[in-house]
Structure 1
């Protein structure tokens, strides 16, 4: 357990029952979703993606809505994430979740390939269930469509983007462009309009990738991605959609759904 995380107060007589029952509202799966407090998009987009019989249990761990003007500001955000993830898992474990989602893509790329898989292994050990993160979900999405040359669209500064490029390069992809919006805070990420995002997609597409992925789950991109696929004629993935799609498929849930692009509709 991270030393910065305070243990909950010990109350005499506390027990933690792990006897499982079939959830009446979510008989097919209960998915735990961890997301930072200022992230106002991932929870609602993933609620819209739920198939019948699946429910989401959301935990909002503490991260400040840091003013972002340099790489170090993103680094501070990531240190807060690292300090609070285990406590978030502890709370979601009380739901007896069937699967865990890390609903913040930036942390899934930190440390490149090695750091990403180490975090996934740690979260699986801590939660006791399968874990889906942005890095591996985006990789699976590219593999599904046979994409090798990729472009990234992000709200980040280079400190995050460099880790993402390292991850994808290590996994055998060629990153032909990174379109970084350099948002001023996590809440500012959520304010980016469809027009801003469509223009960013066009700039990324000018570099001729096989596919484009948007990172940063607080960008409201799920519907923009589906729209962009139609007018570009190539795969455009929202990372939140890729994460939820990959979690469902890892659970053995094969439902297809229109409105969120090719991943949920066709794969």
Structure 2
């Protein structure tokens, strides 16, 4: 429900306890009359230094996600927003749909905006056919991201994973490292470049790279905020975060 301080919408924001980027970037993109209310998913072990630890990390989330949702819905939020992206891509098209359905079930029927859903909405806006993708993930995570995008109909030119060795170190990747990753997955016939991994500080970097590369470059936090707004009737446009928010 809306409130005195948030007459347009109150969003429940679900993110890992290790994440230091989502709240900052989401608040950069907060418009008047809305608010973010965080439910944190407890992460006991942030190590992600190989495929096995990455999978174990995701498997441990399920119980803790339920606790985070249980807690945040007591604020009577209007809808849920996932501030974690890996889980939303897992299992391809069907896995992404099942995850969104499960989140809605946990929250007693609230609408849910996920990273996978947001990227799909953004790509539809641009009519993209061929994409490049960057992530902070290990190869097993990159494969899941590739499978998702291919299953929803996109040709994936390349997925460049930064192989960050812990959930917290993702937030320490520098703008220059992120720019280099974006350049690595570009090609003349790539229509749009997407970034996954919500703890990767890419919202403003992606907007800069859009100017350099001359094509849409979409950070997942930007796409997620944009999708949450648009699906809740909030049509404000913002400058500084790329063409997705300033033009669509």
Question: TM-score per shorter chain, which class?
Answer: over 0.9
| Residues 38, 65 of structure 1: 8 Å contact kept | no
Matched with 1:216 is 197
Once the two structures are TM-superposed, the CA of residue 207 in structure 1 deviates from its matched residue by 6.9
Q: 2:52 aligns with which of 64, 68, 72?
A: 72
Q: 2: distance between equivalents of 1:239 and 1:205?
A: 17
Q: 1: distance between equivalents of 2:49 and 2:162?
A: 12
Matched with 2:146 is 165
SS in 1 for 2:13: strand
Q: 1:38 aligns with which of 11, 18, 23?
A: 18
Equivalent residue runs for 1:1-150 within 5 Å: 22-127=2-107, 128-150=109-131
Gaps of 5+ in 2: none
Q: 1:205 aligns with which of 174, 177, 186?
A: 186
- Verify: 1:192 aligned to 2:190, yes or no: no
| Residues 62, 80 of structure 1: 8 Å contact kept | no
Q: 2: distance between equivalents of 1:63 and 1:113?
A: 26
Gaps of 5+ in 1: 1-19
Structure showing greater radius of gyration is 1
- Verify: 1:227 aligned to 2:208, yes or no: yes
Matched with 1:13 is none
Q: TM-score, normalised by structure 2?
A: 0.97
Runs of 4+ residues deviating >6 angstroms: none
Q: 2: distance between equivalents of 1:185 and 1:230?
A: 31
| Residues 257, 264 of structure 1: 8 Å contact kept | yes
Q: 1: distance between equivalents of 2:82 and 2:48?
A: 22
Once the two structures are TM-superposed, the CA of residue 247 in structure 1 deviates from its matched residue by 0.5
Once the two structures are TM-superposed, the CA of residue 112 in structure 1 deviates from its matched residue by 1.1
Provide the aligned length of Structure 1 versus Structure 2.
247
Once the two structures are TM-superposed, the CA of residue 123 in structure 1 deviates from its matched residue by 0.9
Matched with 2:158 is 177
| RMSD value, Cα | 1.1
